[in-house]
Structure 1
Amino acid sequence: MTVEFDAAHLGPILYYRGLEGDALQLAAMVMLPIGERPETLRTDAGDHAPTLLREIGRSAVWRYDFGLTPSCGSYRLGDQSYDVQTDLHGDMRIAFASCNGEEKGDLDRDQEERNRMWAHMCAEHRRAPFALLLQGGDQIYADEATEGHPLSEDWPDKAGRPRNAEELKDLADHLRLRFAERYVQALFGEAPSWIMARVPTLAIWDDHDICDGWGSLYRSKTHSEVGQCLYAVAREMYLLFQHAAVEGDIPDLFMDETGTSLSWQRALPGVKLLAPDLRAERGRRQVLGAYGWSAVEAMKPGSEHTFVISSVPLLGPRLSLVEGLMLMIPTMQKYEDDLRDQWQSRAHRKEWIRMLKQVIAWREEAPVTILSGEIHLATRAEMGPDETRVHQLVASGIAHRAPPQSYARSLGTLAGLGDAPVSGHPIRIHPLPGQSQRYTAERNYLELRRTHGKWHAVWHLEESGDTVPMVLE
């Protein structure tokens, strides 16, 4: 599949910036051919002119910044009006999704099949509107973006050595276009673009937004000239397409003004959202670096309910046992990066405990629920005694097809061993409501529903349908 960036006017995609009083602060992004001026965005409060963010190939990316209030819940571009849920003080629905693609051949998939769960989300929004869309990582699968250029064709098995700056610049230009075409597919497909024009989004990235296993690969690869070029382009495109932002916007959107860590926090009435960046500083022996930990320690939980977005599940089975076994079997060592990527890896255990203790400290101030994706399965977990229980909800694979049932069963067996890295706070993996296995192998997304002041979780499963609402306390 080849995307012609000057073929059509694309957008808008809506992004959540925060609250000023009762007013939602939003951004809307559009793409159109270079030289064509976007139309004025109109709300009841006035007209809003766009800002040019950057040009890619023959396309330009523009952003509108504006606000909507409970009494002004729509905006207009051209002859199209878009309604947005702006009354957020009572009942509320938030959607959470992750893993929007596949490692191989994603650009060539049938779009109706690929976006089936996005279409389901659109139907749900028409029935009762979502106020926010949280995206928990792997919004694109950029693994094939390195193909087609001599410096990166064999990445990550081999990283080419550029002879001069011009070759490295040519690689950056190649990668920029390849990343952009994947973002165009992910954001501007019929169903995703419909919902994202009406529901503001917030996103955190994971490895496939860069390349498979970024940060768990060996330093000789990630810190090579090709590896650093790949990361720089992926970061630039993540800012642009997942936040409608460029480098100069970082101090306004992220907790680390230097942009070394892209951790963020936001609030809605009665809700706090905390999202530590688990990729920017990741290495084979660390998940977060100094900037990431500074951001985590500065995060403040809400007074009513706090959702923590961990792109990699924070509560999980004892994968260190499998990791040790794999290292003893030469044919299985190729999967080491996948296990090293998890919080539960032996290499990250001290850091994992540190994060768990931070979550427990937040739980002392308010109910805490962890949201995660990454594993292409749906599941849930609990940590701690009943009086200070922490829930984890995993919704993974809105577009990625589910792995075999045998894989889900094997992982469920491993999860039965249990773990308690923090004394007095055992971790338990449970089936979804109505399911018999701990892990459900179906495409899915998650709904967080506040009704009469209480939060509930509902998984929307491709084959099994919707789960019974589960109370979050």
Structure 2
Amino acid sequence: MVHFENAPAAVTNGQASNLNARVDVICGPLINFKNMDVNPTSSIWRGSVLIVTQPGQSQPRLLLRQAGPVEGHVAANGARSGDAAVAVDGVRLYEDPQKAFWRFSLALPLERYEARWEYSIPGLQYAEGSEVHSPWDFVVPSVNQSMRLMFHSCNGFSVGTDMNAWVGPNLWKDVLRVHAQKPFHAMIGGGDQLYNDGIRVDGPLKEWTSISNPHTRRAHDFDNNLRARCDEYYYANYIRWYSTDPFKAANGRIPQINIWDDHDIIDGFGSYTDHFMRCSVFRGLGGVAFKYYCLFQHHIAPPKSTYTTDAPQTMQAVNGTAGADPRQLENTFVLEEQKEDDSWIIGKRPGPYVEERSRNLYMRLGKRMAFIGVDARTERTRHQVNYPDTYDLIFSRLQSEVAAANGDIKHLIVLLGVPIAYPRLAWLENILSSPIIAPIRLLNKRFGFAGGLFNQFDGQVDLLDDLDDHYTARQHKKERRIFIQRLQDFSKTHSVRVTILGGDVHLAAIGRFYSNPSLRIHSEHDPRYMVNVISSAITNKPPPKAVANLLARRNKLHHMDSSTDETLMDFFDRQPGGQEKSAAWNKVTMPSRNYACITEIGLPMSNGNASAAQEDPAAFPLPMDGHSPLHKGEANAGSSHPAADGFSSSSGMPGGLDVTIRVEINPQDREAATDGYAFSIPALAYVPSEADSRPHSRARSLRPRSLRPPSRQSARPHSAVP
């Protein structure tokens, strides 16, 4: 039985007299994954499809049918192919005199086979007259599969990019090629799904940005007129970008999972000085950006109103949303959602600069995989990433979900907006914030000297907001350490491997945390072994070779605590397609556009006995340090790994992953040819060691210091290598 929102009617052969109305579509369809109900009796996949239409449309409908097993798979008994279509009524989320947003909510039963589903929207016509490529299709995993994932970030261009040098969102062509070979069940957006920075260059903030006096700029109102112009800008930018092929084609066929980052709002949002971040214009931008983030990226109704300085009821969040402004609701409909989707972990209190509560995600990604998406932007300041109680909510949800899964969950994917295992740049922070810069800043204010070095908002060095965003920035180090230790504790308690995804930095790398080699713990048994897959950017330009090489030189061995080391992995064994992207000695950072493929390792078979093919981890020698491979899956990392093509896989224990980074060879190549690099992450089989139980060993408790009972030892300051 297929379940849908608003009790739809079945339609024979996709025909019905009430499905003939024309639907003038401005943007879409966009398909999202919401969550899965996984249980022994019936497992359900839940998602949604969004379209943006001209206002005043009659209620649209979506026709959905299962097309049977994915090509190449043998259908099990009872496999359905060519079922009668089911009609799904659209639910109106938002409408004003310019546009309307409609959501079709889906709930599909998982089969014993990987199934392809097809959908169409009768009467759909694009408002600008472009051709409709219907039906669209997507793939859901079988009841025994974990999801196959694609991960991307930074899907747009920074202001000032030479557009003649970079062919648009070209790399999505390769995504669709790989998807055709072996379908992705979901694509994860790690933030910056589009870039809204142009609002200050050729948009309604141009005049405000040009105000030279910082005090006057901070005191500027964000009235309803400015809000309306910003609203129009954000909406038009979403429409433009989400209607651009080949990104548009992927949006309709690969279900999305998204979190946001600064460029979804404006460059550096949250990481400028506090007194400037609290100015009305930034708070207003946060509200408008949140509105369209809800609609386009999550298919949920936005708040009824957003912040303005001429409507006092919008200036203070009430229960996590601003009070209603009658002017913003004039000729406007906003759906009042009956209940929140169960994928949300909603913060307890509004962010400091966005009048909304954070929206973190929990999702089950198939049989053996779970997912946490951390909203690291709504609560962000220069001195914090998330409130402590938000971390408590996340780990509480994880505990309850893993307990309810009865041991099925073997791998946890954690999505962050920025990398967390990444080279330190404290020395650069010190230089850029030192008194040496003060005379140059004064010359900049008076005469515009070195204008490219300073941002247009708080007058600080432009790079500082990027550096302050990093978990490795000095003000975030304690929060970072406690977060990683809590993940280690979770991994150890439940024998669940943790893998972290992060983007933002416009290059590819593989960071990892792991037990200090002196503890002699093999990665297969090590709950501290956590990989940070760094994949960025899929569209934006990469940094210069010199920057990538500098980061590679800063790839030192770091000691996060007395038991945990970290470093980047040697991964890029050759230059992609023979094109020189970085120095020949640089094996750890790749400055070229890229994206990642993540696939559960296939189960090995030996005479019908899966366990017979498992290798003893002890057969791989323990490394001297993290500059060496830590286990077999890292030993053959790079272009020769079986999964380097993005759709093949290796074999091992269920719960392990193959990770592939697909790297663009030539940004001028309109066919977007790529080269692939891959490695494997082993499943975790935690075995308590003598070092873990010894009271005064280097392997101290994985419980974060802030959560342990006070003692004379714990009162001493904790040392960490910067």
TM-score calculated relative to the size of structure 2: 0.60
Matches of 1:112 and 1:427, distance apart in 2: 34
**Counterpart check, 1:472 vs 2:472:** no
Matches of 1:291 and 1:169, distance apart in 2: 34
Equivalent in 266, 279, 288 of residue 363 of structure 2: 266
State the SS of the aligned residue for 2:394. Answer: helix
Confirm or deny: 8 A CA contact 1:217 1:284 kept in the other structure.
yes
**Counterpart check, 1:237 vs 2:292:** yes
Shift of 1:192: 1.4
Shift of 1:92: 4.5
Q: Which amino acid aligns with 1:312?
A: V
- Structure with greater proportional helix content: 1
Deviation string for 1:321-344 (max 9, x for gaps)?
321232224157602222111111
Partner of 2:58: 37
Matches of 1:111 and 1:64, distance apart in 2: 39
Confirm or deny: 8 A CA contact 1:29 1:64 kept in the other structure.
yes
Shift of 1:187: 2.1
Q: Which amino acid aligns with 1:434?
A: D
Taking the TM superposition and a 5 Å limit, the aligned residue runs for 1:312-331 are 312-328=418-434, 329-330=436-437
Q: Which amino acid aligns with 2:141?
A: D
Partner of 1:3: none
Equivalent in 255, 258, 274 of residue 200 of structure 1: 255
State the SS of the aligned residue for 2:223. Answer: helix
Matches of 1:190 and 1:8, distance apart in 2: 16
Shift of 1:198: 1.3
Q: Which amino acid aligns with 2:588?
A: R
Q: Which amino acid aligns with 1:314?
A: I
Deviation string for 1:196-246 (max 9, x for gaps)?
211111101111111111111112222111111111111111111110112
Equivalent in 265, 279, 286 of residue 384 of structure 2: 286
Matches of 1:289 and 1:12, distance apart in 2: 35
Equivalent in 162, 166, 188 of residue 134 of structure 1: 188
Taking the TM superposition and a 5 Å limit, the aligned residue runs for 1:29-68 are 29-37=50-58, 39-44=60-65, 46-55=86-95, 58-68=98-108
Measured at CA, do residues 231 and 291 of structure 1 come closer, stay the same or move farther in structure 2, by a change above 3 Å? Answer: farther
Partner of 2:122: 78
Equivalent in 118, 143, 156 of residue 197 of structure 2: 143
What is the aligned length? 463
Measured at CA, do residues 458 and 356 of structure 1 come closer, stay the same or move farther in structure 2, by a change above 3 Å? Answer: same
Shift of 1:162: 5.0
Structure 1 runs (4+) deviating above 6 angstroms are none
Confirm or deny: 8 A CA contact 1:357 1:422 kept in the other structure.
no
Matches of 1:150 and 1:466, distance apart in 2: 41
Equivalent in 174, 177, 181 of residue 229 of structure 2: 174
Q: Which amino acid aligns with 1:320?
A: A
Matches of 2:258 and 2:298, distance apart in 1: 7
Confirm or deny: 8 A CA contact 1:99 1:400 kept in the other structure.
yes
State the SS of the aligned residue for 2:87. Answer: strand
Q: Which amino acid aligns with 1:374?
A: D
Shift of 1:465: 3.0
Partner of 1:16: 33
User: Which consecutive unaligned segments of at least 5 residues does structure 1 have?
Assistant: 1-5
Larger Rg: 2
Partner of 1:309: 415
Q: Which amino acid aligns with 2:361?
A: W
Measured at CA, do residues 7 and 181 of structure 1 come closer, stay the same or move farther in structure 2, by a change above 3 Å? Answer: farther
Shift of 1:430: 1.8
**Counterpart check, 1:254 vs 2:344:** yes
Measured at CA, do residues 34 and 275 of structure 1 come closer, stay the same or move farther in structure 2, by a change above 3 Å? Answer: same
Shift of 1:140: 1.3
Matches of 1:156 and 1:18, distance apart in 2: 46
Matches of 2:485 and 2:238, distance apart in 1: 36
State the SS of the aligned residue for 1:273. Answer: strand
Partner of 1:369: 499
Partner of 2:536: 396
**Counterpart check, 1:424 vs 2:464:** no
Measured at CA, do residues 22 and 75 of structure 1 come closer, stay the same or move farther in structure 2, by a change above 3 Å? Answer: farther
Confirm or deny: 8 A CA contact 2:347 2:390 kept in the other structure.
no
More displaced 10-residue stretch of structure 1: 248-257 or 226-235? 248-257
Matches of 1:152 and 1:340, distance apart in 2: 27
Deviation string for 1:178-208 (max 9, x for gaps)?
1122222332212112112111111011111
Q: Which amino acid aligns with 1:449?
A: T
Matches of 2:474 and 2:545, distance apart in 1: 27
Shift of 1:154: 0.3
State the SS of the aligned residue for 1:411. Answer: helix
Matches of 2:347 and 2:386, distance apart in 1: 16
Measured at CA, do residues 85 and 202 of structure 1 come closer, stay the same or move farther in structure 2, by a change above 3 Å? Answer: same
Matches of 1:103 and 1:43, distance apart in 2: 39
Equivalent in 456, 466, 469 of residue 338 of structure 1: 466
Shift of 1:290: 4.1
Shift of 1:411: 1.0
Matches of 2:503 and 2:208, distance apart in 1: 29
More displaced 10-residue stretch of structure 1: 345-354 or 356-365? 356-365
Q: Which amino acid aligns with 2:484?
A: L
Deviation string for 1:327-367 (max 9, x for gaps)?
22415760222211111111111111111112212321311
**Counterpart check, 1:449 vs 2:599:** yes
State the SS of the aligned residue for 1:99. Answer: coil
Q: Which amino acid aligns with 1:430?
A: M
Shift of 1:26: 1.0
Shift of 1:314: 1.0
Shift of 1:156: 9.8
Shift of 1:433: 4.5
Partner of 1:460: 662
Matches of 2:122 and 2:432, distance apart in 1: 57
Deviation string for 1:160-182 (max 9, x for gaps)?
6456xxx6111221111211222
Confirm or deny: 8 A CA contact 2:345 2:362 kept in the other structure.
yes
Partner of 1:124: 178
Equivalent in 487, 503, 510 of residue 359 of structure 1: 487
